[in-house]
Amino acid sequence: MNKGIGPLPDVSEMLSKSKEDRIVSYRRFFADLRLSRLYFHLTVLDYFSGMDNPDNKNNFSKELEDFVSYYDGVKLWLDNLTNEKSIYEEFRDQCLQEIKAIKVIIQTYEDRMKQSLTDSTSTSSSTSDMTSVKD
């Protein structure tokens, strides 16, 4: 399995936990997913930076297969979770909160990238303005 992804929370075990403990489990699960994406990103960058290394292609392919396999398991886990309406609703609420948090992060990245592009463009035009003054 991908580095960073822990096992899926056991649904029957979750039923015996308090709501607060289940929320901690959901948060841990989301954190594991984020960490897994970073490890996957690292695998992609290794692949890009070492095209001449045959192991990179094999590692990349294996990571893709592991990712797909893991998400097939997530589908079964979600099916089990949705059968437990009481905990599915709180899981869903945590998912919606996570979505909001991720959208804020995405917006922050996009704003920084736009600002960086704007700064880069203004620096380029300032440089070309100075060049034309010299001529």
Average pLDDT over residues 27-32: 90
131 has a pLDDT exceeding 60: no
* Unique residue bearing structure tokens 């959208």: 103
pLDDT score for 1? 42
- Tell me the mean pLDDT in the region 70-84: 89
Task: Report pLDDT digits (tens) over 91-111.
Answer: 999 999 999 999 999 999 999
The C-alpha angle 88, 79, 91, rounded to 5 degrees, equals 20
Contact at 8 Å (CB) between 71 and 59? Answer: no
CA 36 from chain centre, in angstroms, equals: 7
Residues 99 and 60: their CA atoms lie apart, in Å, by: 27
pTM across the whole model = 0.73
